[in-house]
């Protein structure tokens, strides 16, 4: 099939998270597909989303998606499990048909669910995530739709995102909370053999998480999974692929102080970046 040429209306791919966590997804996406343009948007002023109600997470996410659309994005990835769990479906079913029928918004839960069922040998999967993601039961529902024999156990880790957002992911005090939540998860079912890091902030805690998981338990990070899934999506949707601009540029926006974002994001991404402040309201 001839490759479609890039549409003159092509725009960057939008990557959205409540804060810095989505950078762990962006990094893997850019590594796999450096040719595309990306806009990263972190709602650092209103993070964390994990303890907020369905209505608030939906409204904040809707505002972010509309902002990314206004900046030219045809395709937006919610690089945030909480937003994927609480807002994605409503945006896809209700908002897109009404305001932007030719644009797409994708999440991070479905691609992860598609992989995990083939990884577990014991049929017992653990999910570490925010309160919002756990309470939504999105992982249980998505995994059981695809792998009905898999049992899913979830543990909410309400302090992990604030610790990461405050640059405490390396500090010894964080070990206490990581160990506590992992113990609670494994106490639900000691035969869990695969644990989804179901929040995009958690790869920054991956070293600690692996330290406290029992030997033989796999910690599943989402970055590569989401990147592969996006690549596959673009291959299957040439009409969208040709509307994704390819100059290899990446720009960063935050709803908080850009200096703070620039400093933290540069550490997370191991490269010097600059961010611009925007308002979503
Ligand atoms: N990175 C978001 C997630 O994947 C964190 C949510 C929050 O802000 O609490 O769920």
Q: DSSP string spanning 83-126?
A: HHHHTHHHIIIIIHHHH-TT-EEE-SHHHHHHHHTTT-SSSEEE
Average pLDDT score over residue span 197-205: 95
The confidence score (pLDDT) of residue 270 equals 83
DSSP secondary structure code for residue 188 in this structure: H
Average pLDDT score over residue span 232-242: 97
Q: Is the pLDDT of residue 253 over 90?
A: yes
Q: What percent of the chain has a predicted confidence (pLDDT) above 90?
A: 91
DSSP secondary structure code for residue 243 in this structure: T
Would you say how long the chain is, in residues?
281
Q: Is the pLDDT of residue 90 over 70?
A: yes
Q: CA angle, corner 227, sides to 226 and 232, nearest 5?
A: 95
Helix (H) or strand (E) holding 279: none
- The closest-lying atom of ligand 1 relative to the alpha carbon of residue 52 is 9
Q: Domain coordinates of the chain in residue numbers?
A: 13-107+224-277, 109-221
Q: Please, are residues 101 and 220 in contact by the beta-carbon 8 Å criterion?
A: no
Confidence of residue 4 (pLDDT cuts 50, 70, 90): very low
Architecture of domain 109-221: 3-Layer(aba) Sandwich (3.40)
Q: CA separation (Å) from 235 to 187, 238, 246?
A: 42, 6, 15
Q: For residue 92, how many C-alpha atoms fall within 13 Å in the half-sphere facing its CB?
A: 15
What is the rounded average pLDDT for all residues in the chain?
95
Q: Is the pLDDT of residue 281 over 70?
A: yes
Q: What digits encode the pLDDT tens for the residues 70-87?
A: 999 999 999 999 999 999
Based on the number of CB atoms within 10 Å of its own CB, is 33 exposed (0-12), middle (13-18) or buried (19 or more)? middle
Q: Do the domains 13-107+224-277 and 109-221 sit in the same CATH topology, yes or no?
A: yes
How far apart are alpha carbons 89 and 107 in whole angstroms? Answer: 9
Helix (H) or strand (E) holding 137: none
Nearest CA to ligand 1 atom 9: 50
| φ, ψ (nearest 5 deg) of residue 277 | -90, 140
Which of 8-12, 38-42, 70-74 shows the lowest per-residue confidence on average (mean pLDDT)? 8-12
**Ligand 1 midpoint to CA 8 (Å):** 34
Structure tokens at 218: 């796999």
Candidates 3.30.1300.10, 1.20.210.10, 3.30.360.10, 3.40.50.1860; CATH matching 13-107+224-277? 3.40.50.1860
How far apart are alpha carbons 156 and 78 in whole angstroms? Answer: 20
The confidence score (pLDDT) of residue 5 equals 45
Average pLDDT score over residue span 245-264: 95
Best mutation site among 51, 83, 268 for ligand 1 pocket (most ligand atoms within 8 Å of CB): 83
How far apart are alpha carbons 175 and 261 in whole angstroms? Answer: 24
Best mutation site among 15, 18, 40, 48 for ligand 1 pocket (most ligand atoms within 8 Å of CB): 18
Q: Is the pLDDT of residue 100 over 70?
A: yes
Q: Is 14 in the pocket of ligand 1 (CB under 6 A)?
A: no
Alpha-carbon 21 to chain mean position: 7
The confidence score (pLDDT) of residue 211 equals 97
Helix (H) or strand (E) holding 275: strand 275-277
How far apart are alpha carbons 164 and 154 in whole angstroms? Answer: 20
How far apart are alpha carbons 58 and 21 in whole angstroms? Answer: 18
| φ, ψ (nearest 5 deg) of residue 107 | -115, -170
| Residues annotated as part of the active site | 80, 199
- Whether pTM exceeds 0.85: yes
Q: CA angle, corner 110, sides to 43 and 5, nearest 5?
A: 80
Q: Is 201 in the pocket of ligand 1 (CB under 6 A)?
A: yes
Which of 3-7, 64-68, 167-171, 221-225 shows the lowest per-residue confidence on average (mean pLDDT)? 3-7
The confidence score (pLDDT) of residue 200 equals 94
Q: Is 161 in the pocket of ligand 1 (CB under 6 A)?
A: yes
Structure tokens at 78: 């919610």
Q: Is 254 in the pocket of ligand 1 (CB under 6 A)?
A: no
Nearest CA to ligand 1 atom 8: 48
Which of the pair, 236 or 167, is modelled with greater confidence?
236
Confidence of residue 167 (pLDDT cuts 50, 70, 90): confident
How much of the chain is helix, strand and coil, in % rounded to 5? 45, 15, 35
Q: Is 209 in the pocket of ligand 1 (CB under 6 A)?
A: no
Q: Is the pLDDT of residue 7 over 90?
A: no
Q: Omega of the bond prior to 48 within 30 degrees of 0, cis? A: yes
């Amino acid at each position: 099939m001839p490759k479609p040429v890039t549409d003159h209306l092509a725009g960057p791919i939008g990557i959205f998270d409540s804060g810095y966590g989505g950078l762990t997804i962006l990094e893997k996406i850019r590594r796999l597909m450096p040719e595309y343009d990306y806009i990263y948007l972190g709602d650092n002023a209103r993070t964390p989303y994990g303890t907020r109600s369905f209505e608030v997470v939906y409204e904040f996410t809707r505002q972010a998606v509309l902002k990314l659309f206004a900046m030219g994005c045809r395709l937006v990835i919610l690089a945030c499990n909480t937003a994927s769990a609480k807002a994605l479906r409503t945006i896809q079913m209700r908002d897109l048909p009404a305001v932007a029928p030719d644009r797409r918004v994708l999440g991070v839960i479905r691609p992860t669910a598609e992989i995990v069922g083939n990884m577990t040998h014991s049929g017992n999967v653990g999910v570490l995530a925010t309160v919002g993601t756990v309470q939504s039961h999105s992982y249980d529902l998505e995994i059981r739709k695809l792998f009905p024999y898999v049992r899913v156990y979830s543990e909410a880790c309400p302090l992990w995102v604030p610790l990461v957002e405050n640059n405490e992911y390396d500090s010894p005090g964080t070990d206490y909370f990581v160990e506590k939540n992992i113990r609670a998860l494994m106490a639900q079912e000691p035969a869990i053999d695969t644990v989804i890091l179901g929040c995009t902030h958690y790869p920054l805690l991956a070293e600690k998480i692996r330290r406290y998981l029992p030997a033989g338990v796999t910690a599943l990070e989402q970055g590569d999974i989401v990147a592969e899934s996006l690549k596959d999506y673009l291959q299957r949707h040439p009409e969208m692929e040709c509307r994704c601009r390819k100059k290899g540029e990446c720009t960063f926006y935050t709803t908080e102080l850009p200096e703070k974002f620039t400093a933290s994001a540069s550490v997370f991404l191991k490269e010097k970046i600059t961010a611009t402040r925007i308002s979503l309201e």
